């Protein structure tokens, strides 16, 4: 089977030389992951998301196994982000209410509503390109806190409406994602709101670490269902939180047998590859928005970078042109593969893998062989139905 959209496209590759130090358990600890798992898996509506095998596609791409963790159904929120912001928001409420009440408040007291009156006095705040804000709005409503969400100029109206319908006040900011983060930070400071960001910077690390601890649950679900470790994992990177959380969890779980970690970014926003090349966290200017809305970030998360610089083996950047073909490939499966409805950001890892598997030089550089067992994290389902429909009807915006 031919993959013309993928085999002819330019993919930039940087092979890092990670030291596999102790960041995987020092920056984010097994206890951080355990606590998040214990809490989130007790929430109403919790169910592990499916891990699909794609044997037809694996065959066509000449690898032994291709697994796709599909985060679309996660808590009815459309993406893996439901694991992060809601949990981190709950932890912020725990810290603030403990301080206010002069005693240690438990997560259960907040999540079961016994402190609803007190929680109502607290406002959680964040910037988002859609999914993180939706998760925070969902968590804030669930735990009874106020919620302010900042979005940038290009965030789709449907994504803004999804957050409003969960009770958040949504504020649109001129400029890009990084501009919306700056404005959210300034307004939070001025108004006494509490930032629950999915990115971190010097002096601001705890909520983003909790966000990442929440993401660890999806990696835990994968590890528990797989008898042996995959050989490769492709992880899409925005600020790097997802990639770092999954890479850290896999290393904690599988140790030296952990798969080769390949970070995938849009070529329009390659801040993690730029950091890898520079040997330190680096910023890139995002001048054009990528179709991979969740990955349109110019600055890595500090704590995520601390982990990725220690653990990530390779960095790839991909063009927007291979996203729609990857989404259609999942929606129109071949052989016995399942039909999967996935969003533009969610398929970035799949798109990169198909391109890598079909380009001999890259295939060789990444060590992809007929024995490879490849894990993909499909981080979102349909998060904007209008964009999804347009792409399926081949009139992509």
Ligand X SMILES: Cc1ncc(COP(=O)(O)O)c(C=O)c1O
Instruction: Select which of 12, 32, 59, 129 is catalytic.
Output: 129
Give the distance from CA 308 to its chain's centroid.
14
53, 350 Cβ separation under 8 angstroms: no
Number of residues binding to ligand X, judged by CB under 6 A: 21
Residues 275-334, interacting with ligand X (CB under 6 A): 294-295, 297
What is the rounded CA–CA span in Å between residue 186 and residue 195?
10
Contact with ligand X (CB under 6 A): which of 239, 268, 374, 375? Answer: 239
- CB nearer ligand X, residue 39 or residue 198: 198
Helix axes 85-101, 206-225, angle to 10 degrees: 130
Q: Is 242 in the site for ligand X (CB under 6 A)?
A: yes
Element (H, E) at 22: none
Q: Following CA atoms 81, 83, 88, 93 in sequence, which dihedral angle do they give, to the nearest 10 degrees?
A: 120
Binding mask 81-100 for ligand X (x = CB under 6 A): x-------------------
Q: At CB < 8 A and 24+ separation, what contacts does 253-258 make?
A: 253/219, 253/220, 253/223, 254/223, 254/229, 257/228, 257/229, 258/229
In the complex, minimum distance from the CB of residue 381 to ligand X, in angstroms, rounded to a whole number: 9
Per the annotation, the verdict on 100 as an active-site residue is no
Choices 14-22, 113-121, 239-247, 327-335 (CB under 6 A): range interacting with ligand X: 239-247
Per the annotation, the verdict on 129 as an active-site residue is yes
Instruction: Select which of 81, 302, 306, 310 is catalytic.
Output: 81
Contact with ligand X (CB under 6 A): which of 379, 381, 382, 391? Answer: 379
Residues 118-157, interacting with ligand X (CB under 6 A): 129, 131-132
DSSP codes, 247-308: HHHHHHHHGGGPPEEEEEEETT--HHHHHHHHTS-------S--S-GGG--SS--HHHHHHH
- CB nearer ligand X, residue 74 or residue 373: 74
- CB nearer ligand X, residue 298 or residue 319: 298
Active site (catalytic) residues: 81, 129
Residues that bind ligand X (CB under 6 A): 79, 81, 129, 131-132, 198, 236-243, 294-295, 297, 345-346, 379-380
């Amino acid at each position: 089977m031919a993959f013309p959209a993928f085999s002819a496209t330019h993919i930039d590759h940087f092979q890092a030389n990670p030291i596999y130090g102790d960041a995987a358990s020092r920056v984010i600890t097994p206890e951080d992951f355990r606590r998040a798992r214990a809490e989130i898996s007790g929430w109403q509506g919790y169910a592990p998301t499916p891990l699909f095998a794609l044997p037809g596609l694996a065959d066509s791409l000449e690898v032994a196994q291709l697994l796709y963790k599909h985060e679309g159904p996660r808590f009815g929120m459309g993406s893996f982000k439901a694991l992060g912001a809601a949990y981190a928001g709950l932890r912020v409420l725990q810290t603030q209410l403990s301080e206010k009440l002069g005693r240690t408040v438990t997560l259960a007291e907040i999540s079961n509503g016994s402190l609803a009156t007190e929680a109502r006095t607290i406002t959680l705040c964040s910037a988002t390109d859609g999914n993180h804000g939706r998760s925070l709005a969902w968590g804030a409503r669930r735990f009874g806190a106020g919620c302010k969400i900042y979005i940038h100029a290009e965030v789709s109206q449907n994504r803004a409406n999804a957050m409003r319908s969960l009770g958040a006040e949504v504020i649109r900011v001129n400029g890009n994602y990084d501009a919306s983060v700056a404005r959210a930070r300034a307004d939070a400071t001025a108004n006494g709101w509490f930032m629950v960001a999915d990115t971190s910077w010097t002096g601001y690390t705890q909520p983003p670490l909790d966000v990442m601890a929440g993401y660890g649950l999806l990696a835990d679900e994968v590890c528990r269902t797989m008898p042996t470790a995959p050989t490769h994992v492709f992880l899409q990177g925005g600020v790097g939180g997802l990639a770092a959380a999954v890479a850290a969890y896999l290393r904690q779980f599988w140790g030296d047998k952990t798969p080769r970690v390949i970070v995938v970014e849009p070529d329009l926003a390659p801040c993690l590859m730029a950091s890898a090349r520079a040997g330190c966290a680096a910023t890139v200017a995002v001048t054009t928005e990528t179709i991979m809305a969740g990955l349109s970030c110019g600055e890595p998360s500090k704590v995520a970078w601390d982990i990725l610089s220690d653990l990530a083996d390779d960095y790839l950047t991909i063009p927007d042109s291979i996203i729609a073909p990857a989404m259609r490939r999942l929606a129109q499966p071949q052989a016995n593969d399942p039909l999967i409805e996935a969003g533009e950001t969610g398929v970035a890892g799949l798109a990169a893998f198909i391109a890598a598997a079909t380009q001999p030089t890259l295939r060789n550089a990444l060590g992809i062989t007929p024995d490879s067992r490849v894990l993909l994290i499909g981080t979102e389902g349909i998060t904007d139905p209008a964009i999804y429909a347009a792409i399926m009807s081949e009139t992509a915006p």
